[in-house]
Amino acid sequence: MSGQPGEHTDPAVAFEAAKLGVWTFLATEVLLFGALFTAYTVFRIKYPEMFRAEHAKLDRVLGAVNTVVLITSSLMVVLGVDAIKRGKARLLEAYFGATILLAAVFLLVKYTEYTAKFHHGLYPDTNIFFSLYYMMTGLHGIHVLLGMGVLSYVIVLSRRGRLSEAWCTPAEMSGLYWHFVDLVWIYLFPLLYLIG
């Protein structure tokens, strides 16, 4: 993804190819999370009362706070990509830095939530609702962590002067991935915290 187009490659073609590559990757991600959403649907239909009772044990205020944190982080990515398209590398680094900071806040909130649940004896093997809760938010958390790595890499590229208004594909592609991570949480939040 760092690869600048070679001298024989049209930058516009390279950009389109990278974009289709990321969308293909995101397609596999939809199916990865999709399997868990399917499991959620099956068990929610099978045990509606249990889901109703168990989901009330989650803190929907903390869930909402994390939703706002991720939405804000997505806006930072939008503004960062917009900055590099205007040739402002330092501004891109600041916005992507803010995104990484917000991602850390998200994980910190998630950590306090997990800790609180453990204190109340709610573990991944407590019941099928909490199995799904830990599995889905855990897999999503790993994606947040990976996203932080990818965004850091883009900042490094930018600091090395490798990004400009003429070539900012890595910034745009990492943005696509980050928005997808936000998008998954947009579904996880109501399914787990609001309607169980």
Partner 1 sequence: MAHGTGQDRRTGIAVFVALLLLTVVTVLVSYVDLGLWNVVVALLIASAKASLVALFFMHLKGESRLVWGFALFPIVFLSLILIGTLTDTMLR
Residue numbers at the binding site for partner 1 (CB under 8 A): 11-12, 15, 19-20, 23-24, 26-28, 30-31, 34-35, 37-38, 41-42, 45-46, 60, 64, 67-68, 71-72, 74-75, 77-79, 81-86, 165, 168-169, 175-176, 179-180, 182-183, 186-187, 189-191, 193-195
Q: Which is nearer to partner 1, 11 or 149 (CB)?
A: 11
Report the nearest approach of partner 1 to the CB of residue 98 (Å). Answer: 13
Nearer to partner 1 (CB atom), residue 108 or residue 194: 194
- Round to whole Å and give the CA distance between 60 and 36: 21
- Considering the complex, state which of residue 118 and residue 165 has its C-beta at the smaller distance from partner 1: 165
156 or 194, CB closer to partner 1? 194
CA count, 13 A, side-chain hemisphere, 63: 20
Measured from the CB of residue 5, what is the shortest distance to partner 1 in angstroms? 11
Of the CA atoms within 13 Å of residue 156, those in its CB half-sphere come to 7
Q: Are 81 and 168 in contact (CB under 8 A)?
A: yes
Q: With respect to partner 1, which residue has the nearer C-beta, 46 or 90? A: 46
Would you state the structure tokens that stand for residue 70, as one six-digit string?
A: 């991720």
Give the nearer residue to partner 1 in terms of CB position, either 3 or 118. 3
Written as one letter, the residue type at 144 is: V
Minimum CB separation of residue 105 from partner 1 in Å reads 16
Report the nearest approach of partner 1 to the CB of residue 174 (Å): 12
H/E stretch holding 18 reads helix 11-46
Residue 72 CB, shortest distance to partner 1, in Å, is 7
Closest contact distance (angstroms) between CB of 53 and partner 1 is 14
DSSP result, 21-82: HHHHHHHHHHHHHHHHHHHHHHHHHH-HHHHHHHHTTS-HHHHHHHHHHHHHHHHHHHHHHH
d(CA 68, CA 45): 29
